[in-house]
Structure 1
């Protein structure tokens, strides 16, 4: 009986070692493969992908920004005495800077008129800001003339 128990323990010991041996061999193979890939430069070769161009890049457009005076717009009778505080800047090509500055009062007038006419529910919707921005930019471009204003940057859009 003792010899039968001894042979059973020996069989269990060999079967318990087999997964351990396979695991060690697979770990060594993975380490060797990883070492080869890194040393051959196939992965983690230290070369970084190009990042966005620096601000000093001469290919950037020649633009200036014209700050509009902050505006306080009353939102009409249905708005429960609410006001909209609005501040923006215009992106203008450098060649058109003086022309746009001369007609800035017209720009403020068209923005004030448009924002006063917008429904209060539309202004309260956060998803509508891009649509409002596009509408305001189009009106500004009509007032200033085509090609004089590239973009409208909204700096402040706060309901009181």
Structure 2
């Protein structure tokens, strides 16, 4: 290797090392700026402001408990029972209406659950599908915009 080639290789190596050191310094500085809130943040006031905003934005809801339903599962006297309990999330303004129609809600859920086959309950995604079906039925009974969600609090087959 000639002297000119050796000098060229040494200059190339120095440039690579300098570039790597500068990249590490820039990365560390960027991390510090983001972590300390200088960039993409609002300093120490951000968590408090975000907490106050999230509290103010929470909707006014009420949870109306649905009577517990116990149904036989399977053919004949298999001795297996489904224990079901839920709560309906409703806007606070419609809580009394939901309570008034609670017997109808219980009836429609009881009728739907009795029509299920044991195979419908044993699938992995059964609870998700059943919850969606039951919520739709509850929304029909209570009227549009009155039932926000159906929260299943007990779903046990023994």
Shared fold (TM-score, shorter chain, > 0.5): yes
C-alpha distance in 1 between matches for 2:57 and 2:103: 32
Pick from 48, 59, 62: which aligns with 1:61?
A: 59
Partner of 2:7: none
Residues 10-39 of structure 1: per-residue CA shift (max 9 Å, x gap): xxxxxxxxxxxx6x9966753443123333
- Which consecutive unaligned segments of at least 5 residues does structure 1 have? 1-21
Partner of 1:84: 82
C-alpha distance in 2 between matches for 1:102 and 1:133: 22
CA 1:54/1:109 → structure 2, altered by over 3 Å: closer, same or farther?
Answer: farther
**In structure 2, the residue corresponding to 1:157 is in which secondary structure?**
strand
- Which consecutive unaligned segments of at least 5 residues does structure 2 have? 1-12
Whether the aligned pair in 2 keeps the contact of 1:74 and 1:84 (CA below 8 Å) is yes
Aligned residues: 139
CA 1:128/1:31 → structure 2, altered by over 3 Å: closer, same or farther?
Answer: same
C-alpha distance in 2 between matches for 1:28 and 1:121: 67
Greater alpha carbon shift after TM alignment, 99-108 vs 61-70? 61-70
CA 1:144/1:79 → structure 2, altered by over 3 Å: closer, same or farther?
Answer: farther
Partner of 2:26: 36
**In structure 2, the residue corresponding to 1:129 is in which secondary structure?**
helix
Residues 91-136 of structure 1: per-residue CA shift (max 9 Å, x gap): 1011100010111111111111110111110111121222111111
